Amino acid sequence: MEHFAQKATPAIIQLPVGCGKTGVAAILPFSLSHKRTLIIAPNTTIRQGLYADLNISNASCFWKKAGVLDSFTSGPFTALVDGPKANMDDCVNSHIVVANIQQLASSADRWLSQFPHDFFDLVIIDEGHHVAAESWQKVVRAFPQARFVSLTATPFRADNKELLGELIYRYPFARAMLNGYIKHIVSASAHPAEITFQARGESDTYTLDQILDLKEEAWFRRGVALSDECNRHIAEKAVEKLQSLRAATGFPHQIAASAMSIDHADQVRAIFQEMGLQAEAIHSNLPDDRKAAVLAKLRNNQIDVIVQVAMLGEGFDHPPLSVAAIFRPYRSLSPYIQFVGRVMRTVELNDPNSPNNQGFVVSHVGLNNEEQWDEFRDLDTQDQQMVRGWTRGEGNDSIGRTGSGNPEQVAQRFDDPVAQDERLSHFLNRSFLDPTDDRVIEEMLDTPGPGGFTYRALGITADMLRAQSAHREEHEERPAESVPVQPQVRRQTLRSRLDSRSKSIHQRILADLGLARAGFDISRAIKASRGNNTDALYVLLNREINTFAGQGKRSRDKWTLDQLQAAYDSLDEIGDQVAETIRTATEE
């Protein structure tokens, strides 16, 4: 109210994940709206969650749970804009309308043009940093008299473009942790004593000091990310953290893992499976029913690990996820926070001392994610002017370095420089709560502990608390104990990975040669092949793989572990040979 009494500019409110953005959206209309409120979500998942929390027919809707209203006979009534199921009369008869931005702002949708300019006098944008500038402007132009409020956990866009509005309130992550609104998280980063890269028969070994210098290089980060050895060390530490959380209370905590691509997700999933865990991968290429089945397994505690490729974004609320295993480099802060946010939801609300409200972020120093961790912690300590600059797309060089292309669809090459061997020195553990920061210490002094007493009330000074907390802020921890893998399990996972990666290489060859899947270029050029390009290439590629292993077709279930490993390690080279054969034949 204070902001809009003085200005007409949109307002931005920053709240950490799990700290009540839905609650704020539910109560803002009572003070800011005299007509109707439009609440815009960035995707259908968040849209459905918002509607459930604002549906007065739902026994657990926000206003009932929070005791905001005594009677619901006169509303507030909420309409859900979900395509053809809704119509204009639903919106006319409601106080609140919930929609997602794609429905409102896309050229193909009819909704925005149906609403009169004065239909809404308050527009609330959930996760406003996702909304593209042009989509924002379409909504602003449609309702010129409305007040606009954006709710977000990250007050900047990944593409470094301006957020619409002025930041008027921030609730610090550190305060949320101390009050038990989100999990207290600790970063654990693998630090090798030395690491050996190999490419096309040549190898180079680097010390930890050299690794710290090279981690800025894209080829180095990629070589760590695609390394079975490095990934196994991350996975082993993640499992160690998972087991310690489960042992403390018996609660079924789970791991969320982040991978670069579909190929990479299959690699990471196989490593967890070889360690005896139930693991599934989820990505955009999965059919919708398969995605739903994987998420159902996760929610029903039927799996220990979910490996995702840009899938579990904001709005995915599953508190048992408590360990974030990061197997990929993040080049901008926003997606890093979005992923880490998946493990920050509390299991036991308002209890910062509960063992169930602890979380871990496990990664590798060679991926260079420490930069994002540091900037994440600095979100709370940056001055208000700097954060306002971020909303305008100013400063913070790391924001916006998103790379190019869709990482899910890229068929990864595993024969470029990749780390083949690693001797770990330690894991470096770093708490999110920084005891060297006076603002964090002041928060800690005034946060009630067991029995309701604060440190300050007990006579503990800032210096005493700082000294007590310093040893927890950063310390070295031994690597996790190596998990032995049964040869049979290793063979079975390699068999599956060989098929999966050969399909990716199949797609890459077609793309590299510019061949249409339904065309007949290959069968016209190579007489021994049949069918369209998809079918012909499938036969050629698998024939070469079998020839490399010295085996016939339909025999892979009988291949030895060594045969599978050799074929898997040589897939990129085999694919190149097949591509060159096709290129030569089609050019003749």
Q: Is residue 158 pLDDT above 90, yes or no?
A: no
- Average the pLDDT over each of 15-19, 434-438, 482-486 and give the range with the smallest value: 434-438
Q: What is the DSSP letter of 301?
A: T
Residues 6 or more apart in contact with residue 80 via CB below 8 angstroms: 47, 51, 86, 98, 99
Which alpha helices (DSSP H) does 379-519 contain, by range?
384-391, 438-445, 462-473, 487-513
The whole-number pLDDT of residue 402 equals 36
Give CA–CA dist 536/539, Å, rounded.
5
Q: What is the DSSP letter of 20?
A: S
Are 229 and 414 in contact by the 8 Å Cβ rule? The answer is no
The whole-number pLDDT of residue 386 equals 45
Q: Rounded to the nearest 5 degrees, what angle is found at the Cα of 207, between the Cα atoms of 201 and 212? A: 110
Residues 6 or more apart in contact with residue 452 via CB below 8 angstroms: none
Is domain 2-171 classified as CATH 2.60.40.420?
no
Cβ-based burial of 87 (10 A; exposed 0-12, middle 13-18, buried ≥19): exposed
DSSP line for 201-260: TEEEEEEHHHHHHHTTSHHHHHHHHT-HHHHHHHHHHHHHHHHHHHHHH----EEEEE-S
Fold identical between 2-171 and 176-392+419-434? yes
The whole-number pLDDT of residue 198 equals 86
Q: Which residue, among 208, 171, 222, has the nearest Cα to 328 in the 3D structure?
A: 222
Q: Is residue 269 pLDDT above 90, yes or no?
A: yes
Residues 6 or more apart in contact with residue 539 via CB below 8 angstroms: 529, 530, 531
Dihedral, CA of residue 397, residue 399, residue 402 and residue 408, to nearest 10: 150
The whole-number pLDDT of residue 101 equals 84
- Average the pLDDT over each of 84-88, 182-186, 232-236 and give the range with the smallest value: 84-88
Q: Rounded to the nearest 5 degrees, what angle is found at the Cα of 258, between the Cα atoms of 252 and 263? A: 120
Residues 6 or more apart in contact with residue 16 via CB below 8 angstroms: 153, 171, 172, 173, 176, 181, 182, 341, 344
The whole-number pLDDT of residue 390 equals 44
Write the pLDDT tens digit of every residue in 2-11.
888 888 888 9
Q: pLDDT > 70: what percent of the chain? A: 88
The whole-number pLDDT of residue 383 equals 46
Are 391 and 170 in contact by the 8 Å Cβ rule? The answer is no
| H helix or E strand, kind and range, residue 322 | strand 321-326
Q: Which residues of 283-313 are buried (b: 16+ CB within 10 A; e: fewer)?
A: beebeeeeeeebbeebeeeebbbbbbbbbbb
The whole-number pLDDT of residue 353 equals 85
Neighbouring CB atoms inside 10 A of 478's CB total: 11
Are 74 and 81 in contact by the 8 Å Cβ rule? The answer is no
What's the chain's average pLDDT?
A: 87
Residue type, 525: A
Q: Which residue has the higher pLDDT, 452 or 530?
A: 530
Q: Report the DSSP pairing between strands 321-326 and 474-477.
A: unpaired
Looking up tokens 């039927």, which residue turns up? 302
Give CA–CA dist 435/391, Å, rounded.
28
Structure tokens at 439: 């603002």
Write the pLDDT tens digit of every residue in 10-63.
899 989 888 888 999 999 999 999 999 999 998 888 899 999 999 999 999 999
Q: Give how far Cα 281 sits from Cα of 296, 300, 406, 543, 581, Å.
A: 13, 16, 17, 28, 34
Each domain of the chain, given as residue ranges in start order, spans 2-171, 176-392+419-434, 487-587
The whole-number pLDDT of residue 178 equals 86
- Average the pLDDT over each of 126-130, 405-409, 438-442, 535-539 and give the range with the smallest value: 405-409
Grade residue 375 by pLDDT with cuts at 50, 70 and 90: confident
The predicted model gives 478-491 an average pLDDT of 93
Q: Is residue 276 pLDDT above 80, yes or no?
A: yes
CATH architecture under which domain 176-392+419-434 falls: 3-Layer(aba) Sandwich (3.40)
Structure tokens at 323: 């360990």
Residue type, 482: S
The whole-number pLDDT of residue 133 equals 63
Q: Is residue 472 pLDDT above 80, yes or no?
A: no
Write the pLDDT tens digit of every residue in 545-571.
999 999 998 899 999 999 999 999 999
Looking up tokens 């995702």, which residue turns up? 308
The whole-number pLDDT of residue 457 equals 74
3-state helix, strand, coil in the chain (%, to 5): 45, 15, 35
Helix (H, G, I), strand (E, B) or coil at 401: coil
The alpha carbon of 51 is separated from its chain's Cα centroid by a whole number of angstroms, namely: 23
Give CA–CA dist 229/267, Å, rounded.
11
Q: Is residue 387 pLDDT above 70, yes or no?
A: no
